[in-house]
Amino acid sequence: MLLSWLVRAAPAALLLVGVNASPVADHRKRASLDDFIKTQTEISLKGVLANIGPDGSKAGGVPAGIVVASPSRSNPDYWYTWTRDAALTYKALVERLIAGDTSLKQKIDDYVTAQAYLQGVSNPSGGPDTGGLGEPKFNVDRTAFTGAWGRPQRDGPALRATALTIYANWLIQNGGATQAKNTVWPVIAKDLAYVVKYWNQTGFDLWEEVNGSSYFTIAASHRALVEGVALATKLGQQCTGCAEAAPQVLCFAQSFWTGSYIDSNINVNDGRTGKDVNSIISSIHTFDPNANCTDATFQPCSARALANHKAVADSFRSIYGVNKGIAQGRAVGIGRYSEDVYYNGNPWYLATLAAAEQLYSAIYQWDKQGSITVNSVSLPFFRDILPSISVGTYQKGSSTYASILSAVKTYGDDFIAVVQKYTPANGALAEQFDRNNGSPLSAADLTWSYAAFLTATERRAGVVSPTWDEPSNNVPPKACTGTPACNTKTTFNVRATTTFGENIYVTGQLTQLGNWSPADAKPLSASKYTNSDPLWFAEIELPAGTVFEYKYIRKTANGQVVWESDPNRRFTTAVGCGSTATVNDTWR
């Protein structure tokens, strides 16, 4: 469906980024927004393809189907392939295939082959059946990256499953059911098995910094499980545990709602408000063109998603120099989260584009359902862009409905205009733009930035992804029961000579070990300690089949914390539920 009114030329006034800018001067300096979108779309598609092996112009020597995050090899080094970035990029390419660009099919087939290979590569997160699918990135030659990193990251398998499920459904509709069943489904099935097993365990968020429960991961997991069940049925395959887990994942997702916004990371003491563009990216990923404005699944037009959009956008209004003087209700540069210190914390192109994409997706949903409801939760969002609005339901065809759609469209275009203002003349999209002067920063030619431009402007034009059957899967259970725990009992033995008043603890990257926090480290017992055998021990219940890193710490009588020397220790828990294992260490 193409909403022709969405692609009218934007008035020159919409190109204003700051309230002191001159519409006439800005119009003279820059092309119209529609002209910019047309030109930048072509550049962005080429930018994506340039970073994909084997024939991408900036991916020389990279195997077929491997997506390089960025050609940048230093300051920062992004010459890796991230499971998350690749999946979101290929989701965008599959959507373009569905829209008619069949030249992309071979690229997508290459991606299927490459991901099937990577699923079998043992890595620091584990083996193919012991958590290895949660490894966030690999070397571009498809070997394991073994350096220190925030791992595991549990969003990658769910995102890859979604991208490939959309493709498999297209194959079924276009005479490729055999390929879908024999080639694509086995990759999807492994990812869904991972999601079923690990969705209720903590991991690192999409920014690779916080180890806890990430809203983005949970939202992506719910969608992947729902559409995975439907695809398995079409292909006559089994998706063991998927149908049972999906509603429980949705139930848990409700825990992130604070009453006015999504706290993007919970079950972690990160010192942040939780206002994070993670949540806006979640909303556009789980957007279903057939959905109503459902709060539970955080649909783009839902009251919760709109309130969250305002909360996240407002959190950046006063902290960036490029946003200075921009009035409430006008678009600003959007970063990851206000407390960000990476490269001193700046707006990101993909984050600013995500803010626009949510608004365009909401417009599509309102237009399809034929009404807009403003309630007490969403009222502050609407009043920013239409001060006279009040609580109520406004039907399509009414003047108020038209005013709301026009205001939201203007607001969405305003975010694109921010990106336009800080995009260099050659159209190259880096990762970030400087918070004070708007110059491109960090990784050049970021694949995800280009993909985000493609999806945002497609939503603006009314081009959407197929339904994932959200309308039949949007009611969470009244009570969350999680999934049956599959744990093992691991006994930690460490020989550590201590003096009176000193105690030994173990901590590590699992929640059960305190997520590396000395305050939450698990105490060991000295009940068997002797001068000849200075044994400290503890039996701790941990998730089965999980690779993790850990260390011992010593706490002195006055509260001083002493860590044992590097490197981190590593262990893989037993695979069977209810099994036992023992580690024997000596303090270093």
- Taking only the tens place, the pLDDT of each residue in 284-298 is 999 999 999 999 999
Quick one: 455 exposed, middle or buried, by C-beta within 10 A (0-12, 13-18, 19+)?
Answer: buried
More confident residue, 175 or 485: 175
What pLDDT score was predicted for residue 25?
37
Query: In terms of residues, how long is the chain?
Result: 588
Structure tokens at 471: 């309308």
Domain 1-51+258-475: state its class: mainly alpha
Task: Tell whether the model's pLDDT for residue 19 goes beyond 90.
Answer: no
**Range with the lowest mean pLDDT among 25-39, 299-313, 352-366, 373-387?**
25-39
What pLDDT score was predicted for residue 6?
30
**Range with the lowest mean pLDDT among 90-99, 278-287, 523-532, 571-580?**
571-580
More confident residue, 107 or 559: 107
DSSP E strands: which ranges in 122-264?
A: 137-139, 203-204, 211-214
Q: How confident is the model at residue 279 (pLDDT cuts 50, 70, 90)?
A: very high
What pLDDT score was predicted for residue 514?
87
What pLDDT score was predicted for residue 189?
98
Task: Tell whether the model's pLDDT for residue 142 goes beyond 80.
Answer: yes
Task: Give the residue among 336, 334, 339 at the shortest CA–CA distance from 359.
Answer: 334
Per the omega criterion (within 30 degrees of 0), is the bond before 471 cis? no
Average pLDDT of span 466-486: 87
Q: What is the pLDDT of residues 158-198, one digit of tens each?
A: 999 999 999 999 999 999 999 999 999 999 999 999 999 99
Q: How confident is the model at residue 1 (pLDDT cuts 50, 70, 90)?
A: very low
- Separation CA 216–CA 134 (nearest Å): 15
Q: How far is CA 199 from CA 70, 253, 507, in A?
A: 29, 11, 22
Task: Tell whether the model's pLDDT for residue 483 goes beyond 80.
Answer: no
Average pLDDT of span 307-332: 96
Above pLDDT 90, what percent of the chain? 83
Q: What is the pLDDT of residues 363-375, one digit of tens each?
A: 999 999 999 999 9
- Separation CA 562–CA 587 (nearest Å): 11
Q: Who contacts 447 (Cβ-Cβ below 8 Å, separation ≥6)?
A: 47, 48, 51, 67, 68, 69, 70, 85, 89
Task: Tell whether the model's pLDDT for residue 5 goes beyond 50.
Answer: no
DSSP-assigned states of every residue in 271-288: SS---BTHHHHHHHHS--
Buried b (16+ CB within 10 A) or exposed e, 56-66: bebbeebbebb
Task: Give the residue among 174, 285, 172 at the shortest CA–CA distance from 230.
Answer: 172
Q: Note the CATH number of domain 63-256.
A: 1.50.10.10
Return the active site residues: 205, 208
Q: What is the pLDDT of residues 61-83, one digit of tens each?
A: 999 999 999 999 999 999 999 99
Average pLDDT of span 340-356: 97
Task: Tell whether the model's pLDDT for residue 463 goes beyond 60.
Answer: yes
Above pLDDT 70, what percent of the chain? 94
Element (H or E) spanning 522, and its range? strand 522-523
What pLDDT score was predicted for residue 545?
80
Q: Where are the domains of the chain?
A: 1-51+258-475, 63-256, 487-586
What pLDDT score was predicted for residue 271?
81
Domain 487-586: state its class: mainly beta
**For the chain, what is the mean pLDDT?**
92
- Separation CA 524–CA 506 (nearest Å): 7
Question: Is there a shared CATH topology between the 1-51+258-475 domain and the 487-586 domain?
Answer: no
**Range with the lowest mean pLDDT among 27-31, 122-126, 172-176?**
27-31
- Separation CA 412–CA 428 (nearest Å): 21
Task: Tell whether the model's pLDDT for residue 354 goes beyond 60.
Answer: yes
Q: What is the pLDDT of residues 558-574, one digit of tens each?
A: 989 999 999 999 998 88
Instruction: Say whether 5 counts as a known binding-site residue.
Output: no
What pLDDT score was predicted for residue 484?
64
